Amino acid sequence: MQEKETFYITTPIYYPSGKFHIGTAYTTVIADSLKRYKKLQGYDAYLLTGLDEHGQKIETVAKEHNMQPQNYVDNMAVEAKKLWEKLNIEYDDFIRTTEDRHTKIAQKIFDYFMDTGDIYKGEYEGLYCTPCETFFTETQLVNGKCPDCGRDVKPMKEEAYFFNMKKYAQKLLEFYDTHPDFIKPEYRKTEMINNFIKPGLEDLCVSRTSFDWGIPVKKDPKHVIYVWLDALTNYLTALGYLSEDDHLFQKYWPASVQIVGKDIARFHLIYWPIFLIALGLEIPKTILVHNWIMMKDGKMSKSKGNIVYPELLIDRYGLDATKYFLLKAVPVSQDGVFSPEEFVERFNIDLCNDLGNLVNRTIGMINKYYNGKVPEYNGHQNEQDEEIERTIKKQKLEFEDRMKELQFSNALSEIWGIITRCNKYIDETAPWILAKQEEKEKLDSVMYHLVESLRFVAVLLQPFMPDTAKSIFEQLGVENADYKTWESIKEFYKDLKQITVTKTGTPLFVRLNKEEEIDYIKTNMKALPK
Ligand code: MSP
């Protein structure tokens, strides 16, 4: 048997410095959808996520909780896993940077860089942003504040190790040039070149002595490894790189898609490939930089009291509705906005009116006119029959193109294009009139095409809204696993004889009372975490 092609996907490892909101959950939700999509296409897909548990920020937060950092992160790891379970994230490994399997190898990597001379000792004097754990030069500041988070920076000086970034700047540019798929969307590449590489890449300070909560440098333990060098190597250490058992590394490296938010683009698009070049390793095929979910009044923040936690939405509106909103709201290359109004509107229009109604109407008519048995394919009997087949096949190809570009929101729009076309098809062919006029052949054809189109929709929805897809299959009476595969939507199946739809359809989504629900979300998003 031919071995399946592998597809390694990573999310950033999260700082466990507080409860995760819908914005932080976004990266993981798209990563999970991508994994399920690649699996559907037959790839051996592997998804890594985890926690970035070292650094001054974590040390400080743990202190605020009167806890030892290790106890604090242990608790947070339990919480993070609970959330991923609630979001039904199909991850294959969850790495924590305090685990032995990581710390040992991160130390080995640091040692290796010391041995090759890529890391050298010097003194750092600069402006430091504590929450971001990053030094900046005067010129990098924006209005005198941290360019990443906008907070105050303070002058600091310490003995430190540096990574010789300058040495690799040219190689990195050459790599960008010869690998057009490396950075998605492309404008992020221009940003990196113009803002950071062209003005002159600074060597990176890769150790700290001002606090302890980190991985000690083996050969000089008063230094801890800079949290970003520590964290970035997780993508390798999780696969057993440089360890006794490195079969996962052999199998999955280089990563196929690494997904990161825009705030951490610089680390992943500049430092990360440079570390890999220095290690003599292959560079990931694609790094997807996504934009952010914002609120109408800017970023979500405790002080504004505008944070939305995934639990609020999942518990009241269900997992698939929550995921649908997240996937749809951020078009990847632009910020998206969460507002209670928009959430409720999308729920009522996209999910209830468009998708829900299509399923209900189809199930209802098959029961009414055919006692549940789906009619056989009998060619094209109505002028719209051929057109609907053609349109759906075309939309499916466009869906594939959007997914190739990792444009999740646009990919969903292609699926909704099929849904809208099907609803229009019902209106145009008016099956109730065909039934009345006893135009049996025409009615057979409409009903066959509707069921088959809905089967396409359910197959395509599986990676994003698995429960909804399952429910559509159940209601349509599609039990055979072969009818749910990627292969099965290459062509319209002619033979649906085995299919009997359910007697009474279960509504997929129940229409929300607009005012009440907007009010509900608004009231609850003000609440601070327990
Ligand atoms: N620990 C680093 C990553 C190290 S990877 C080697 C980190 N962690 S984080 O917890 O702060 O962020 C995790 C992810 O959440 C990032 O991809 C970040 O961009 C994303 N988001 C945080 N807020 C977000 C929104 N409001 N919207 C979308 N994504 C957001 O960075």
pLDDT at 528: 52
State residue 330's pLDDT score. 86
pTM of the shown model: 0.94
pLDDT class for 526, splitting at 50, 70, 90?
low
Q: What is the 3-state secondary structure (H, E, C) of 326-348?
A: HHHHCCCCCCEEECHHHHHHHHH
Q: How far is the CA of 95 from the centre of ligand 1 (A)?
A: 16
Q: What per-residue confidence (pLDDT) applies to 90?
A: 98
Kindly indicate the confidence band of residue 132, based on its pLDDT and cuts at 50, 70 and 90.
confident
The tens digit of pLDDT for each residue in 307-349 reads 999 999 999 999 999 999 999 998 888 999 999 999 999 999 9
Q: How many other β-carbons are positioned within 10 Å of the β-carbon of residue 157?
A: 11
Any ligand 1 atom below 6 A from CB of 232:
yes
Closest Cα to atom 19, ligand 1: which residue? 261
β partners of residue 44: 6
CA 245 to ligand 1 centroid distance, Å: 30
- Residue whose CA is at the smallest distance from ligand 1 atom 2: 14
Amino acid at 413: S
Nearest residue to 408 via CA among 326, 302, 477, 508: 326
Q: Please tell me the distance between residue 526's alpha carbon and the centre of ligand 1 in angstroms.
A: 22
> pLDDT class for 506, splitting at 50, 70, 90?
confident
Helix (H) or strand (E) holding 47: strand 44-51
Average pLDDT, the chain: 94
The best mutation among 259, 264, 272 to test binding of ligand 1, ranked by most ligand atoms within 8 Å of the C-beta, falls on 264
Assess whether pLDDT exceeds 80 at residue 2. Answer: no
Contact 33, 464 (CB under 8 A): yes
Nearest CA to ligand 1 atom 10: 14
Atom of ligand 1 nearest to the CA of 294: 26
For a substitution probing ligand 1, which of 10, 13, 14 has the most ligand atoms within 8 Å of its CB?
A: 14
Residue 417 pLDDT exceeds 60: yes
Sequence-distant (≥ 6) Cβ neighbours of residue 502 within 8 angstroms: 363, 372, 474, 475, 476, 477
**Ligand 1 centroid to residue 169 C-alpha, Å:** 26
Q: What gap in Å lies between CA 149 and CA 445, rounded to an integer? A: 58
Is the Cβ atom of 416 under 6 angstroms away from ligand 1?
Answer: no
479 Cα: distance to centroid of ligand 1 (angstroms)? 39
Q: How far apart are CA 27 and CA 332, in angstroms?
A: 10
289 pLDDT exceeds 90? Answer: yes
- Does ligand 1 lie within 6 Å of residue 53's CB atom? no
Superfamily of domain 342-489: Isoleucyl-tRNA Synthetase; Domain 1 (1.10.730.10)
pLDDT digits (tens, 9 = 90+) for 106-129: 999 999 999 999 999 998 888 988
CA of 440 to the centre of ligand 1 (A): 57
How many angstroms is it from 393 CA to the middle of ligand 1? Answer: 36
Q: Taking 50 as the threshold, does the pLDDT of residue 530 lie above it?
A: no
Q: Is the pLDDT of residue 462 over 80?
A: yes
| Residue 427 burial (10 A CB sphere; 0-12, 13-18, 19+) | exposed
Percent of the chain that is helix, strand, coil (3-state, to 5):
50, 15, 35
As a whole-number percent, the residues of the chain with pLDDT over 90 amount to 83
pLDDT of residue 135: 80
Q: Mind listing the pLDDT tens digit for each residue in 173-202?
A: 999 999 999 999 999 999 999 999 999 999
Tokens 């694609």 found at? 286
For the segment 146-173, what is each residue's pLDDT rounded down to a tens digit? 988 889 999 988 899 999 999 999 999 9
Please give the distance, rounded to the nearest whole angstrom, from the Cα atom of residue 369 to the centre of ligand 1. Answer: 52
276 lines ligand 1 (CB under 6 A): no
